[in-house]
Amino acid sequence: MSLAVVYSRASLGTSAPLVTVEVHLSNGLPSFSIVGLGETAVKESRDRVRSALKNSGFDFPTRRITVGLAPADFRNAGVVLICQ
- pLDDT, one tens digit per residue, over 13-63 is 788 888 888 999 999 899 988 887 777 777 778 888 888 889 999 988 889
pLDDT band at 83 (very low <50, low <70, confident <90, very high): very low
Per the structure, how many domains does the chain have?
1
CA dihedral 29, 31, 35, 37 (to 10 degrees): -160
Residue 75 has pLDDT above 60, yes or no: no
- Domain, as residue range, for 78: 2-83
